[in-house]
Amino acid sequence: MNYDLIVIGGGPAGYVGAIRAAQLGKKVACVENDRAGGTCLNWGCIPTKALLKNAELYHTLTHCAEEFGLKIGCVEYDWSKVIGRSRGVSDKLNKGIEFLFKKNKVDYLKGTASIPAEGKVEVTAADGTKATYDTANILIATGAKTRDMPGFPFNGTTVIGSKEAMTMATQPKSIVVIGAGAIGIEFAYFFNAYGTKVTVVEMLPDILPVEDTEVSKLLEKSLTKAGIRILTNTKVTGTSEDGKGVKITVEGAANETLEADVCLVAIGVKPVLPGGIELKLSDRGWLQTDDRYQTNVKGIYGAGDIIGPPWLAHVASYEAVQCVEGIFAGHKPKKVTVFPGCTYCHPQVASIGLTERAAKEKGLKFKVGKFPYVASGKALAAAEPEGFVKILYGEPHGEIIGAHIIGSESTEMIAEIGLAMNLEATWDEIEATIHAHPTLSEMVKEATEVAKGHPIHV
């Protein structure tokens, strides 16, 4: 069968790219060797949010009931049902992706794909049978997987990655998390909420190193208060496991050996490449593409995590749509420049654009508007006074160059800033926009008034 496009990988880049191409009237197939939806839907973004919602609710009931005037007896939880609810959410969405394939007439091919030659994709099914398909174009969207530590391989029980962390049959009594990026911090929050002893090890000076320093510091303070031990500026110098637990030797403010039931390694990701034809890669192994998302081989494209950072589902989907519309609709594809990043611990963290330190390094002139959650009526009413909204406005025109929010529902609030930046709105237009009261989102307007020098409520 001849296809206009075969997409290799069914994650946020792959399935979205396949569906968009089909909407443009093309004959499309999508190859996936695991489950439709990829890592994000099945082993990442979605199931972890279900786990984190459970953790937040449990923490609220056990720590904040009295504040809400609630009298609750002993609150217990069923670990298997906590994990089961998360898997159930993924299962529903997985079936939804398969339905969307049928709706849009995308052929869903289950198996492992390779590219033996230009215009050909070979698919090996689970039973070992092979089939080769002809196609005018190929989109590689195979993504990335958890990076392991040299000399400390994953074993699925005592040394685990994020996939195993969200399906553990038994709750560990103690866990060491190596890496304080979004994945490490989210799992640290989750396990701590249920009483697991959590230690986080990060070699850089701050947790969530890509975020604004002020945000990282406040989050570290909050998580420490919640009982998580956080070791920044700390390097792992030795690792061992004996089938019953792990020992992690670290050097930092103090040199010590950490012992725990489990170690979660969250130090980043590495590319997953299809076999076959040789393609040009970056120094770190990511697929290299040009301004049209095309590789060094004509007719073979790449989008999503496989082409390198940022490794975010929403960025992957954007890239895939841009790539496909460039191929079939004659559009000039756009590369990702400004995008939101979110961490779903509690308090949540969301950001877009430049951090304050990055703006200073670039020598930009800007004003900072910062508004605290504790001054928000809605935040106080919801018993969520922790956090702030921080917006960086360029001078002299007042364009938004960055925004950083830590606090309740910040991952929802960041969308307004993203739209404003996309529309090139200035602080005048943000201030002139009537925000409903009381809402958390009105803090965006309040922070803008701070930046302009005439705040009302602080």
C-alpha 167/C-alpha 41 separation (Å) is: 14
Look at residues 365, 371, 356 and name the one whose alpha carbon lies nearest to residue 397. Answer: 365
Q: Which helix (H) or strand (E) holds 21?
A: helix 14-23
What contacts 99, CB < 8 A, 6 or more positions away? none
Q: Which helix (H) or strand (E) holds 402?
A: strand 400-406
372 preceded by a cis bond (ω within 30 of 0): no
What contacts 212, CB < 8 A, 6 or more positions away? 351, 355, 356, 357, 390, 402, 404
Q: Which two three-digit tokens encode residue 123?
A: 């698919």
Instruction: Tell me whether residue 437 is one of the annotated catalytic residues.
Output: yes
Asked if 406 and 387 count as a contact pair (C-beta separation under 8 A), the reply is yes
Helix (H, G, I), strand (E, B) or coil at 426: strand
Helix (H, G, I), strand (E, B) or coil at 408: coil
Residue 206 sits at the vertex; the CA angle it makes with 202 and 208, to the nearest 5 degrees, is: 85
C-alpha 258/C-alpha 246 separation (Å) is: 8
C-alpha 175/C-alpha 193 separation (Å) is: 13
Asked if 14 and 304 count as a contact pair (C-beta separation under 8 A), the reply is yes
Neighbours of 251 (CB within 10 A): 15
How far is residue 51 CA from its own chain's centroid?
A: 15
Q: Which entry of 314, 437, 454, 457 is annotated as an active-site residue?
A: 437
Q: Give the DSSP per-residue string, 289-357.
A: --TTSB-SSTTEEE-GGGG-S---HHHHHHHHHHHHHHHHS--------S-EEEE-SSS-EEEEE--HH
HSE value, Cβ hemisphere, 13 Å, CA-based, for 94: 18
Q: Which two three-digit tokens encode residue 350?
A: 């969301």
Look at residues 409, 418, 292 and name the one whose alpha carbon lies nearest to residue 53. Answer: 409
Q: Cite the active site residues.
A: 437
